[in-house]
């Protein structure tokens, strides 16, 4: 159990590091994500080929999985866009609202009643975002993009639950990232046209950061995460995932001194969001315990 927790926290810490790498890479958000997905997909195919984990899927199911992968690519594009237009701390704070957005959006997809407590917690988190927004108006565009990024990752999560079934996590990851790369490639001409961008190639140092981002913060974290899932409970995993923004913001303070550019109200808003997330997790674990039936 101890080793599994170490793997899980290592994976979450590395996910928190993705924002730092996103700011270090000189490419714009679109081409940053395109190169990341290209390298990641290539490494995954090589890794799964040699470990004999490649499983064939039908064309119909591939299109379903690929469509979710494309939404994942859009989430990454928006996340790194938020970093470029604001900073790492703002982008990760917006990402911290994912759990609460999911609590509201998932019932709409699965035709369940929305819990009034979740609405209250969502309002609590929204107040935190409001405090951050009005005290950091210079980052307003980045906040808009960051909230869209959070919404996109919730949609990915919901679609994974609703559409994808019957395949292992390894297969879903392989085809989602492959499909996401193909989908983003198809969308890049539109992206270049709307943002007046041209094809961008990584600088020598960018290659180093991209390889670390793809191999360590994507492929390695996937392996660590899947290994940890076999040993720890779903609640522990979800609770640990809430630490990703915390790790990322601490790293941003250390590496880029972003705390110099944030007002005291940022910390108040972020604290409100974290409290709301923790209360939501507490509700979930209580609900799981009350629904538990021994020897079922």
pTM: predicted TM-score of the whole model, two decimal places: 0.89
pLDDT for 12 beyond 80: yes
Q: Are 172 and 5 in contact (CB under 8 A)?
A: no
Per-residue pLDDT band for 274 (boundaries 50, 70, 90) equals confident
pLDDT mean over 206-234 = 87
Question: To the nearest 10°, the Cα dihedral for 275, 281, 284, 289?
Answer: -110
| DSSP one-letter string for 163-221 | T--SS-HHHHHHHHHHHHHHHHHHHHHHHHHHTT-------HHHHHHHHIIIIIIIIIH
pLDDT in tens, 189-206: 999 999 999 999 999 999
* Residue 207 to residue 154: CA distance in whole angstroms: 30
CA distance 95 to 200: 27
Contact predicate 8/237, CB 8 Å: yes
Lowest mean pLDDT: which of 120-124, 194-198, 273-277?
120-124
| Whole-angstrom distance, CA of residue 62 vs CA of residue 179 | 8
Coil, strand or helix: which one is 226? helix
Question: Would you state the pLDDT for residue 72?
Answer: 94
Phi and psi angles of residue 111, each rounded to the nearest 5 degrees, phi first: 55, 45
Residue 21: the pLDDT is 96
- pLDDT score recorded for residue 36: 97
* Tens digit of each residue's pLDDT (9 = 90 or more) over 133-190: 898 889 999 999 999 999 999 898 888 877 766 777 888 889 999 999 999 999 999 9
Q: Which residues are CB-contacts of 276 (< 8 A; sequence separation ≥ 6)?
A: 100, 121, 122, 124, 125, 128
**Cβ atoms of 47 and 170 closer than 8 Å:** no
Give CA torsion, residues 175, 177, 180, 186, to 10 deg: -90
Separation CA 135–CA 50 (nearest Å): 52
Q: Identify the H or E element spanning 85.
A: helix 59-85
Rounded to whole angstroms, how far apart are CA atoms 91 and 144?
10
Which pair of structure tokens corresponds to residue 158? 């919901």
């Amino acid at each position: 159990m101890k080793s599994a927790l170490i793997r899980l926290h290592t994976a979450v810490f590395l996910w928190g590091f993705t924002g730092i790498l996103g700011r270090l890479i000189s490419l714009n958000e679109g081409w940053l994500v395109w190169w990341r997905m290209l390298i990641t997909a290539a490494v995954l195919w090589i890794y799964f080929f040699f470990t004999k984990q490649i499983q064939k899927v039908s064309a119909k199911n591939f299109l379903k999985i690929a469509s979710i992968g494309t939404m994942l690519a859009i989430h990454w594009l928006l996340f790194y866009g938020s970093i470029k237009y604001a900073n790492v701390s703002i982008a990760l704070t917006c990402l911290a609202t994912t759990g609460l957005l999911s609590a509201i959006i998932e019932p709409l997809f699965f035709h369940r009643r929305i819990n009034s407590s979740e609405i209250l917690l969502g309002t609590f988190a929204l107040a935190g975002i409001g405090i951050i927004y009005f005290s950091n108006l210079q980052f307003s565009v980045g906040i808009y993009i960051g909230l869209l990024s959070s919404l996109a990752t919730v949609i990915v999560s919901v679609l994974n639950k609703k559409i994808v079934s019957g395949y292992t996590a390894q297969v879903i990851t392989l085809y989602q990232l492959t499909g996401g790369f193909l989908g983003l490639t198809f969308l890049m001409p539109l992206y270049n046209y709307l943002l007046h961008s041209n094809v961008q190639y990584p600088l020598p140092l960018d290659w180093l950061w991209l390889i670390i981002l793809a191999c360590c913060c994507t492929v390695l974290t996937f392996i660590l995460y899947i290994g940890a899932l076999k040993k720890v409970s779903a609640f522990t995993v979800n609770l640990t995932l809430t630490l990703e923004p915390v790790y990322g913001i601490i790293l941003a303070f250390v590496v880029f001194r972003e705390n110099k550019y944030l007002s005291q109200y940022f910390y108040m808003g972020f604290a409100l969001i974290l409290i709301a997330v923790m209360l939501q997790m507490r509700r979930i674990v209580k609900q799981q315990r009350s629904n538990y039936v021994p020897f079922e």
